[in-house]
Amino acid sequence: MANAGLRFVGGDEVGPRVAAASLPCTGPADLHLAVPQVVGLLRRQVPPLPTDDGGDLQVDIEDFAARRYAERGGSGAQEHVESIAGADQLRERARAGNWAEGAVQLQGPAVLDSIATHLHLTQPLIGNSVSIMSTWSEPQLDSRFVVVDGLRMHYKRAGHGPALLLLHGSASSLQHFDRAADLLSESFDVIRPDLPGFGLTGPRTDRDYRIPAYAATVAGFLETLAVPRYAVAGNSLGGNIAWNLALDHPERLTGLVLVNATGYPEKAVPTGMRLARNPLLRPVLRRVMPRGAIERNLRSNVGPRSTIVDDAMVDRAHQLMSRSGNRSAFVDFCNTDQPDRSALIPRIAAPTLVLRSAGIDGQHFTRDIPGAEELVHPHGGHLLPEEEPQWVADAIAQFLGSTTDTPTH
């Protein structure tokens, strides 16, 4: 076996948010990349990796993830090494295995240029740097999955302390809370699922996207994780689910945070949802969701001073919306007749904090929930946790720190 090799390493030095980033080479043919950016490309690869020099490809799957999980109090992959002879076996293993929890080393003197081509690296491997595209449609290093009522739910969990559930909005994913979750995990056991119909959780087989069904699924999700008591914070749709949880399971909630939450019938319907309700566009949007439309929707949902909508954010939203079944799930969600439970909001007994942007309409929670507190951001948009993660995290931490004690996990 020759010394030349291509090495993918999923360490802390390169994060999953990298998009078309220039990464340094440590040697003339020794390149370190983050596993999440590469795993999906290997799995989807159609042409076999050539071994026309007669050499084999050796794949070493090493356990760096277990150390990181152990540092965070969890458990992860087991240490193992596998050798696979031949490109067909390599592709089969890549499709079947979960390489997002390991480091992959490919060696073989005649395969480097072909690998670079198949992985869409924009420069040759021999040189000072290469560029790669990140993939959001595959699990990341800290991804976890659990089955709830037959639905395989994707979630992330980090930190220690009282349990805190974060729920994202429609046409979004758990990454919506990435930065806020990093801040909150210093004081809380932060749990973030991809809600049914979105992200890596994907569509429901029963196509039931009513808010009470969401609330029941989320309650079952926490039961499966053996978390009996928790605070919940939700943005937009996530806030709607959160206050429905407070109505349906008041004994479980220690605190409620509503961030630009929906639920009042007079709230304006976003442009993307109006388009998905158009009978002429519905069948089209089930088949294709243009990247430009997603970008316009994101820009319309942030405040006038926000600069968070960039290529990486649009790529993430487009890739996740383009996953199998997600476009149709979004159309189904937008066309679901939602029950109006707003008359029940005054019955909510959980300590409640309302975080809203000054320009967002349909926000009467402070008026209707007894004892609710409110903070208003002067220029934020609908996506407040992404636009102002520090402001949101500080407000949540201070509020929950003043409420009744929550069991620590």
Instruction: Give the per-residue pLDDT at 403.
Output: 66
Mean pLDDT of the chain: 75
- The per-residue DSSP string of 157-197 comes to EE--SBEEEEE--TT--GGGGHHHHHHHTTTSEEEEEPPTT
Nearest to 157 by CA among 400, 409, 406: 409
pLDDT in tens, 332-379: 999 999 999 999 999 999 999 999 999 998 789 999 999 999 999 999
61-65, 68-72, 245-249, range with greatest mean pLDDT: 245-249
pLDDT of residue 45: 35
Identify which has the larger pLDDT, 194 or 408: 194
Residue 22 to residues 40, 104, 133, 213, Cα–Cα distance (Å): 19, 20, 10, 44
For residue 225, give both structure tokens. Answer: 């994780």
Residue 134 has pLDDT above 60, yes or no: no
Whether the per-residue pLDDT at 229 is higher than 90: the answer is: yes
pLDDT of residue 97: 46
What percent of the chain stands above pLDDT 90?
A: 61
How far is 112 from 96, CA to CA, in rounded Å?
23
Bridge-based pairing state of the strands 60-62 and 151-158: unpaired
Closest CA to 229 of 349, 409, 406: 406
Residue 118 in this model has a pLDDT that exceeds 50: no
**pLDDT (average), residues 177-181:** 97
> Would the pLDDT of 106 be above 90?
no
Tens of pLDDT, residues 292-334: 999 999 999 999 999 999 999 999 999 999 999 999 999 999 9
Supply the angle between the helices 311-321 and 291-300 in degrees, to the nearest 10.
120
Q: What is the pLDDT of residue 154?
A: 98
Could you tell me the pLDDT band of residue 407, with boundaries at 50, 70 and 90? low
pLDDT tens figures, 204-220 = 999 999 999 999 999 99
Residue 356: enclosing H or E segment and its boundaries?
strand 352-357
The pLDDT of residue 13 is above 70: no
Rounded Cα gap, residues 208 and 338, in angstroms = 10
H/E segment holding residue 145: strand 144-148
21-67 residue pLDDT tens: 223 333 333 333 333 333 333 333 323 333 333 333 333 222 333 33
